[in-house]
Amino acid sequence: MATTVLSGSVLGWSIFAVVLLVILAFCWVYIRKYQSQQESEVVSTITAICALAIALITSALLPVDIFLVSFMKNPNGTFKDWAASNVSRQQIEDSVLYGYYTLYSIILFCVFLWIPFVYFYYEEKDDDIGKCSQIKNALKYTFGFMVVCTILLLVGAFIPLDVPTNHNSTEWEKVKFLFEELGSSHGLAALSFSISSLTLIGMLAVITYTAYGMSALPLNLIKGTRNVVYERLENTDDIEDVEQQIEKIKSKCRDGRPLSSRDRNDLQKLEERLRTLRRRKRHLETAEKSYWSKLCCALRPLKIVFGIFFTLVALLLVVSLFLSNLDKALHSAGINSGFIIFGTNLTNPLNELLLALQVVFPLDYILITVITVYFIFTSMAGIRHMGIWFFWIRLYKIRRGRTRPQALLFLCMILLLIVLHTSYMIYSLAPQYVMYGSQNYLVQSNMTSVDTVHENSTTRVSKMCDADAPEDQCTVTRTYLFLHKFWFFSAVYYFGNWAFIAVSILIT
C-alpha cells in the first residue's frame, strides 16, 4: 500500500533524476567550451559547472511540480486510489515544497558565500601571496555578502505576512488561505524573503539579458555566422597586405640608411600582427577541414527554420504576457494583494494552448518544459552577446575558448538570479495552468429527461480546475503558493513584467 501511495512521487522524481543527468552533462560541455584554456583553474571550473547545474535543476522543478499535482487525478476529475486521502496528497505536496526550499537554500549559499569566495580567491591569486593569505583575503571580502544574507534572513523571519483586510471581496479570503497553507514557520518565511529579494535582482537581469536574448538568438540563427572559407580568404588578403607594408618599410634601409624610430615602431607592430594573422590562418585551415564546420554548413537551412520558430515563440510569449498583465490590472484583487488573480478572464493564447494540449499526454508537459528551457537559453544568449555589465561599465566578455574564470562565475550567478524570476514569468504567461496543471473536478449538473413525464436528474460532470473549484477538489502547485508568500514582492514583479514587455518591443 505504501508503495502505491508513493507511486506518483516516485515517477515524478524519476523523471527529475533523468533530467538531472542531462543537465550535468550539458553544464560540463558548456563551461569547458567557453572557458579560457590559459587561465582555467580547477576550483573556478567546478564552481561554475555546479552553479550552472543548480540554476537549470531549479528551473526543471516547475514542470515536475505541475506534473505531480496533475498526476493525482484521473481525467474524469476523481482522485486516483493512491491519492484519495489528504495524507497521501500532502506527502506529494511536501516533497515538492521541500525540494524548492532545498534548492533555494543552495542558491543562497552559492550567491552569498560560494561564488563570491571563489571569485575573490581567484582575484587574490599572486605568486607573492601564500595560500593562507589568499584564503584570508577572500573570506574578508566574502564576509560582506554574508552580512547582507543575514540581514535578509532576519527581516524575513519577523516581517508581518498579514494582508490588509479593508476589502469585502471574497478574493481576500482566498489570499489568506493560500498564505496559511504555505505555512507560517519563521525559518521558511526568512528563506522565502531572502529568495524573493534575490528574485528582484533576477527580474532586472531578465528585463536586460532575457529580453535582449529573445531577439538576439533567433536573429543570429537566421543571419548565421561567417563562413570559414570566406574568413580564411579574407585573412590571406590581410597577410598579403601586411607583408607589402613590411616590405615597403624595409626598402627604406636598403641603401644603408638607418630606419627612423617611427618606422622601427611601425615595423615591430606589423611583424607582430603578421605573426597573429599566420596563427589565425593555421587555425582557420584546421577549422575548414573539421567535420563540425561541414556539419554546420549542412544544417544551415535548419538554423533558419529554428530562427523563424523562435521569433514566433517570442511574439507568442510577449502577447501572452501582455494579456495576462492586462487581466491582472482589470480583475485582480489590487496592488495590496500583489495583483493576485484566480483563473483567467481574458483569453490568453499560451494558457489556452496548454489547456488544449492536456488531451494528449504528455504534450502539455513537453511545452511547459520547452518554455522553461527557452527562457534559460535566451538568457544565456543575451549574456553571451552583451557581456557582463555594471551599469555603463563593461566588466567581461563571454567568448568561446577565451572567457576568464571571473566572467564565468558572474554568468552563473546571473543565471541563478534569472531562474528565480523565471517561475513568476511562466506563471504570468499561463496562470491557470501553472496553478492547477491539467486537473479536473466534478460538478453537479441538472439534466431534464424528455418522456411522457418530465423528470429532473442530477449528474456529475468533469470540469477544468479554476478559481471556482472547491478547495478539497483541486490541488494548487507549490510554485504558485511560493510566488505569493509576500504580496509586496508580487506587486513589484507585476510592474517588472510591464518593463520586460516594453524592453522587448523596443529591442525588436
Q: For residue range 326-372, list pLDDT tens digits in order.
A: 888 887 777 776 677 766 677 788 888 887 887 777 787 788 878 88
Q: What is the pLDDT of residues 38-62, one digit of tens each?
A: 777 778 888 888 888 888 888 878 8
C-alpha cell at 423: 517561475
- Whether residue 51 contacts residue 109, with contact meaning beta carbons closer than 8 Å, is answered with no
Residue with cell 495576462: 324
pLDDT attached to residue 499: 92
More confident residue, 320 or 133: 320
Using alpha carbons only, what angle is made at residue 27 by residues 284 and 362, rounded to the nearest 5 degrees?
Answer: 115
Q: Is the pLDDT of residue 3 over 60?
A: no
Q: Is the peptide bond before 362 cis (omega within 30 degrees of 0)?
A: yes
pLDDT attached to residue 173: 53
Q: Is the pLDDT of residue 264 over 70?
A: yes
pLDDT attached to residue 168: 44
Q: What is the pLDDT of residues 195-239, one digit of tens each?
A: 888 888 889 999 999 999 888 888 888 876 666 666 777 778 778
State which H helix or E strand residue 456 sits in.
strand 455-464
Q: Is the pLDDT of residue 293 over 50?
A: yes
More confident residue, 453 or 115: 115
Q: What is the pLDDT of residues 86-111, one digit of tens each?
A: 777 777 777 887 888 888 888 888 88
Q: What is the pLDDT of residues 251-262, one digit of tens each?
A: 777 666 677 777
For residue 336, the 8-state DSSP code is: G
pLDDT attached to residue 342: 64
Choose the weakest-confidence range: 293-307, 390-404, 425-439, 456-470: 456-470
Q: Is the pLDDT of residue 263 over 80?
A: no
Choose the weakest-confidence range: 151-160, 165-174, 180-189, 371-380: 165-174
**pLDDT cut 70: percent of the chain above it:** 80
Mean of all residue pLDDT scores within the chain: 77
Burial call 241-256: b when 16+ CB within 10 Å, e when fewer: ebeebbeebeeeeeee
**pTM, full prediction:** 0.75
- Whether residue 94 contacts residue 475, with contact meaning beta carbons closer than 8 Å, is answered with no
pLDDT attached to residue 127: 57
Q: Is the pLDDT of residue 452 over 70?
A: no
Q: Is the pLDDT of residue 139 over 80?
A: yes
Average the pLDDT over 25-34 and give the result: 83
More confident residue, 395 or 165: 395
Phi and psi (nearest 5°) for 272? -65, -40
Give the three-class secondary structure for 459.
strand
For residue 127, the 8-state DSSP code is: T
Distance between CA atoms of 99 and 68, rounded to whole angstroms? 13
pLDDT band at 10, cuts 50/70/90?
low
Where are the chain's structural domains? 19-225+301-507, 228-293
Q: Is the pLDDT of residue 1 over 80?
A: no
506 CA to centre of own chain:
22
Q: Is 256 left (phi over 0), alpha (psi -120 to 50) or beta?
A: left
pLDDT band at 425, cuts 50/70/90?
confident
pLDDT band at 447, cuts 50/70/90?
low
Count of residues in the chain: 508
pLDDT attached to residue 76: 78
Average the pLDDT over 460-485 and give the result: 75
